[in-house]
Amino acid sequence: MKKAWLLLLLLFFIRAAQSAPADSVQVKKKYVTKQLSGSLINLDGVPDEEAWKAVEWGGDFTQYQPNGGKPPSQKTNFKVLYDTKFLYIAYRCLDAAPDSIIKRMGRRDEFPGDWIEINIDSYHDQRTAFSFNLSVSGVRSDEFVSNNGNNWDASWNPIWFAKTHVNSEGWSGEVKIPFSQLRYGNEPEKVWGLQIIRRLFRKEERSTWQNIPQNAGVWVSAFGELHGLHGIPMHRQVEIAPYVTAQTDRYKKEEGNPFAKGSDSKMNAGVDGKFAITNDLILDFTINPDFGQVEADPSQVRIDGFQNFFEERRPFFIESRNIFDYRLTGSEAGGDYDSDLLFYSRRIGSSPHGNPEINDDEYLKSPQNTSILGALKFSGKTKKGWSIGVLESITQREIATIDHDGQRREELIEPLTHYFVGRLQKDIKAGNTILGGIITGVNREKGLSDQLHRNAYSGGLDFVQYWKERTWYIRGNVVFSQVQGTKEAILNTQTSFEHVFQRPDAREVAVDSNRTSLAGMGGTFRFGKIGGKTGKLGQVFRFETGVTLRSPGLELNDLGFMLTANEINHFTWAGLHYQKPFSIFRNARLNYNHWARWDYGGQFLYQAFNFNSHATFKNYWQSGMGLTWNTFDISNNALRGASSIRRPPGLGNFFYVISDMRKKFYVTLETFNFWGFSNTVKGNNIDLTTTFQPINALRISLTGSYSYNWRRQDQYVSEVTSNNQTRTIVGRVAQKTLRFTGRISYNITPDLTVQYYGQPYITRPVYDNFAYVSKPLARKYDQRFQLVDRSQMSLSNDEYKIDENQDGTPDYSFTKPDFNFVQFRSNLVARWEYRAGSELYLVWSQGNTPDANADINTPLANSLWKNAFAEQSRNIFLIKWTYRFLR
């Protein structure tokens, strides 16, 4: 019955997608530029210099959104010139209502208000491009475009110059881009891919010079062409940027603690740099990097055993990350497996792994993060289609100091470690075929050998094949890993949450305490369609199906990110996307997903079906909703290796609505709810964000989030031994979480900004109704557990003692699992780019993570307010100065 239902649904999508011919990409336009001959251009935003008369205005734009293929509501023109060092672009953005031009300010890469953008495929590989965006307010934004427009990386920050001017006919702009910031070959006459995009903010209209239908499924490969580039010399980029920081920490003094005197001060220095080995291959380096001005990570606490994933924010690692990005899956359907990476740069410079044990009369001084001594990154793309990336980094040996009445000892908490990543890709047949490979390595000196692998290696091979004008594709990869270390370290890996080889019901794995290495493999195969025919309402049908797997021994967490091993996941996604306005909609999307999972022993683990819809209305409001039906769920990890356990099936839904984002004040409301059948699980989450921009230079947003998650019986608590029997203790848990996030951004000029970020956070899981697992795979929920009677329990000094036979002697005990976690993090940053690429930062950072367990019975909001802003906050004041030398 289920298969017949799925087939009917799929036939509906296919039928709806048919009935009209495809919108083909237009014949490629050509713009012919010329070289400046003695004349100069004064970069003031007004292209009235004599030099501009040497070339014609380009124009004849076409709407991209919302009415693809129709003329835009306002005309746009551009010109392109060059000399031996720079590429010059002039824009003329005509507007019949110049008083309606939106001049909102923002920081770099925020794309505020009305803007115009040039995309340059200087490699002319039809896959990658350099994007330079200029808003009418003068804000510069830039991105590196890869994967034929499917990836836009705003972390790329080249040096370029621009000015704008508003007049009675609209607005104009002038841009100057150094050739040293682009990558190109050494052929005497060059042809580059070219696209110009304009945004008309008040109508949320996009128009493009080269018409590319939305359903084309491609971007860079359909660009127009820039001709006339003759004799451009090779410009090898050389940049050196030394920095100096001065930092003072203020915190509450602890009597008797020699490491907590109330204040600390330090100065630091380092250098970042770039050197072009060739014009398209760049060597980046950093010595003693500083990340003091980077925004703090959001607070996260999980009780399900899975590790947290944090986005990379450090400039050195996020620039050119598209080359090093190697996702094991990356499916359109989405899933937990999509977070798995071969290279997760947050492993470099993370918190030390060692955690010294100290007595009550001892004090500890330990670094919060491992220091990065230096890092090198060699990356780029050659004219012949080779993408190359090599990254090496060394982190410092970290030592903790322990004081006892003035007597001090030291303990290793992180060994000296070397990290390596190598990535190689080759474009074949103009990027219609792509082959690639990656290898990573982690090598540690001796130390913490019972916890850490001495060596860890991983690698992979991947391919992509496109056809039918790149609207159909097959993608795949295969990955492998090997870790080496002492028997204790490899035993820890086998029995870790990600692997749980000790699981007694596992047929496919078993613990081997004599092993000194562990190897595994995985892979993904995906087949899909990203463009094609459109229907009468402009709808296009897209889909993807595939399988992704991780063998039991696959281990990536030394330098990558992996949630769990021992999984075979199937996924399918189908979408019907309406890209043109109809009825009350500007655009709309209907999506269907389903998932299934097995382990390598053949045990069926998971099945779920999802339908979701999203729409933008003609009044510019947005809304979406979805429903997921989880029909079957078994977890191999929830009991931390004690056994597999059947989890209750259920339903989940989400809903969101966003008011008109063009307005100075708009609201975003998001909700998520789920229910386990037979009253076994429930959860509710609501997020409300208000955004207010009273003037163009000031933007204020505040988000409030509340969640309540409840599990009736199956939340893991502890594993105990009683009468030579191992028992897994579970319980009922109710977890409440409250979070507020505030952001204020004030832009004095496009290069002088002040920004504040603050987040108070509290989460509180409270447990009761304890039981031990008896029949974890029983079909009936209550048969899986044996409830511990209250008469058998006693609580003393936050420890539960269980006397099952009630003979007066406890049979086992476990620590009370309730906790009350409160945290407050904030940053106030003033940033001034006083010359191109050179910056001055003034930073005030505040953090507080108090011990709030004594306050666990206080109402949630009161406990947050009482503890988050308590006196023990740590205040960090930092000044950072950088100066970039260019050649």
Average pLDDT, the chain: 92
For residue 598, with 0-12 CB atoms within 10 Å meaning exposed, 13-18 middle and 19 or more buried, which class applies? middle
Protein fold of 33-230: Immunoglobulin-like (2.60.40)
| DSSP letters for 415-453 | --EEEEEEEEEEEETTTTEEEEEEEEEEEE-SSSTTTS-
Q: Are 215 and 579 in contact (CB under 8 A)?
A: yes
Mean pLDDT of 553-568: 97
Q: Mean pLDDT over residues 522-527, rounded?
A: 97
Within 8 A by CB and 6+ apart from 337, the residues are: 328, 329, 331, 548, 550, 563, 567, 569
| Measured torsion, CA atoms of residues 634, 636, 638, 642, in degrees rounded to the nearest 10 | 120
pLDDT tens readout for residues 169-220: 999 999 999 998 898 888 889 999 999 999 999 999 999 999 999 888 889 9
Residue pLDDT, tens place only, 407-416: 999 999 999 9
Percent of the chain with pLDDT over 70: 97
Backbone φ, ψ for residue 147 (5° rounding)? 55, 40
The number of beta carbons lying within 10 Å of the beta carbon of residue 488 is 13
CA separation for the pair 684, 552 (Å, rounded): 34
Report pLDDT digits (tens) over 451-506.
999 999 999 999 999 998 888 999 999 999 999 999 999 999 999 999 999 999 99
Task: Please report the pLDDT score of residue 811 as a whole number.
Answer: 92
Q: What letter does residue 333 receive in the DSSP assignment?
A: S
User: How far out from the chain centre does Cα 101 lie?
Assistant: 33
- Sheet containing strand 799-802, edge to edge, reads 793-796, 799-802, 812-815
Domain ranges of the chain: 33-230, 280-291+308-582
Q: How far is CA 306 from CA 309, 799, 817, in A?
A: 9, 25, 17
Using pLDDT thresholds of 50, 70 and 90, give the confidence band for residue 293: low
How do 224-230 and 30-32 pair as beta strands? parallel
pTM of the model: 0.90
> What pLDDT digit, counting tens, does each position of 417-432 carry?
999 999 999 999 878 8
Q: What is the pLDDT of residues 44-101, one digit of tens each?
A: 999 999 999 999 999 999 999 999 999 999 999 999 999 999 999 999 999 999 999 9
| pLDDT tens-digit readout, 697-735 | 999 999 999 999 999 999 999 999 988 888 999 999 999
**What is the spatial distance between Cα 743 and Cα 758, in angstroms, rounded to a whole number?**
7
**Residue 474, exposed/middle/buried by CB under 10 A (0-12, 13-18, 19+)?**
middle
**What single letter denotes the amino acid at residue 170?**
G
Query: In the predicted model, what is the mean pLDDT of residues 536-543?
Result: 87
